[in-house]
Amino acid sequence: MNQIEAAKAQAGTVEAQTASPGYRYYVLGILILIYMLNFLDRQIIGILAAPLKAEFNLSDSQFGLLGGLAFALLYSTLAIPIAWLADRFSRVWIMTGALTLWSGFTALCGLAGGFGSLFLCRMGVGIGEAGGVAPAYSLIADYFPKSQRARALAAYAFGIPLGMAAGTLVGGLLAATWGWRTAFIVVGVLGVLVAPVLRLTVKDPKRGGLDIEPAAAAAAPVDTPKAPPFKAVVRTLAPKPSFWLLAFGAASSSVCGYGVAAWLPSFFMRSFGLTLSQTAWYYSAIVLVGGVAGIWLGGAMADRLGRKSKGAYPLTPAIAFLISVPCFILAMNSGAVVGAVMPGSDPNGFAALALAFLIFLIPTGLNLTWLGPITAAVQHLASPTMRTTASALFLLINNLLGIAVGIYYFGWMSDMLRPTFGEESLRWAIYTGMGFYLLSSALLFGASRTLQKDWVD
């Protein structure tokens, strides 16, 4: 080992150009696992809505604050300074600390004595998770070449349906057997145990090493390129209409996506008559099968179509959202569909539940197709040294609106409609939320017309 290689090894860095394919995919696998834990801890509260509301006597609006604002406020805003640090210092160290922090606060949720203390613990989860995503985007962009980046980011996004499915299933079954407190503690401790594995086995690649030709990369200096000031990143992104259209398009879809994900377990229990354990199995299967298929489809299609036109990156999810809306509404009314075919059948019987399951797979997959294409496109709106901060600015808009507004909106709307629709108020609240998918589609169609001009190779 020469002096340069020894210095790199001591610093915990690696040249992505020379990293073996096996190691690259190992890194991707670890990042997927951590993203899975990220969403497991983030979304577990959805399946625990019924026992939490019963114990603390919460309204739908109050629960919406727990799932939305408590988490999203600091999660979204702290992501910016953390990303600024990640563009200058070790992304792996930052993610290790973030994973330990959010997992610890998830475990503390199990000790909460009321709405106030649970709200504060959920804020702590948000503080930790603020350092979990943007650095991972940057690591993946530096481990995989441009031709594979959307698929790699789509594979990373598998952590979302895997985490949601695990949170729904594990959280629901633990809560049904040992109580909701045990569910929080178990999943939180799991994340704390995984953190050292990340730190000890994953190294930081050279920033932008795969964005230049191999010969030029070999001749490039060893030192990591200096990250520009935060203002420079803002000045780079602000004049680009593609950034705003992608960010607000993704945010509009997330208002509905996060809201539906948080409230569908409650809908299944209220409108389909499922128990907590039944809902855990039913919804986790929908999220796992539909989500994984949709994310991979979105990344693969965008990588293939993007070779011909950059506009394909936002166009793929724009079309997907238009298809999702009628599918969601049809799935929620599967009992009426079965009743029209088989008069007198139970609207919540096996046939209706089976039909709903099959139809729900379609929009559950389609509403996640944006993750690979859009995050890949955002990576190409700025230079490699700006990627983490650019991703954090994108996530600020996406999450502050998507999580804080989305989860609260459905709870608030359900309370508003309760005098008219009673226990079915949540159904009608979800109907109104479908409008956000239509808005997202329009914004992403706009981005497909400007992205070619704003793209940075």
The tens digit of pLDDT for each residue in 161-191 reads 899 898 889 989 999 999 999 999 999 999 9
The answer for residues whose C-beta is within 8 angstroms of residue 284's C-beta and 6 or more apart is: 164, 165, 166, 168, 169, 172
- Inform me whether the pLDDT recorded for 216 exceeds 60: no
d(CA 280, CA 286): 10
Nearest Cα residue to 260 out of 327, 353, 318, 188:
327
What is the structure's pLDDT at 14?
56
What is the structure's pLDDT at 427?
94
The full 3-state SS of the chain, as one line of letters, equals: CCHHHHHHHHHCEECCCCCCHHHHHHHHHHHHHHHHHHHHHHHHHHHCHHHHHHHHCCCHHHHHHHHCHHHHHHHHHHHHHHHHHHCCCCHHHHHHHHHHHHHHHHHHHCCCCCHHHHHHHHHHHHHHHCCCCHHHHHHHHHHCCHHHHHHHHHHHCCHHHHHHHHHHHHHHHHHHHHCHHHHHHHHHHHHHHHHHHHHHHCCEECCCCCCCCHHHHHHCCCCCCCCCCHHHHHHHHCCCHHHHHHHHHHHHHHHHHHHHHHHHHHHHHHHCCCCHHHHHHHHHHHHHHHHHHHHHHHHHHHHHHHCCCCCHHHHHHHHHHHHHHHHHHHHHCHHHHHHHHCCCCCCCCHHHHHHHHHHHHHHHHHCCCCHHHHHHHHHCCCCHHHHHHHHHHHHHHHHHHHHHHHHHHHHHHHHHHHHHHHHHHHHHHHHHHCHHHHHHHHHHHHHHHHHHHHCCC
Q: Residue holding tokens 């729904």? A: 168
- Inform me whether the pLDDT recorded for 11 exceeds 80: no
What is the structure's pLDDT at 89?
80
- Inform me whether the pLDDT recorded for 6 exceeds 50: no
What is the structure's pLDDT at 32?
94
- Inform me whether the pLDDT recorded for 19 exceeds 80: no
The tens digit of pLDDT for each residue in 85-131 reads 877 888 899 999 999 999 999 999 999 988 889 999 999 998 888 88
pLDDT band at 9; cut points 50, 70, 90: very low
The tens digit of pLDDT for each residue in 226-284 reads 667 778 888 989 999 999 999 999 999 999 988 998 899 999 999 999 999 999 999 99
What is the structure's pLDDT at 410?
93
pTM: 0.77
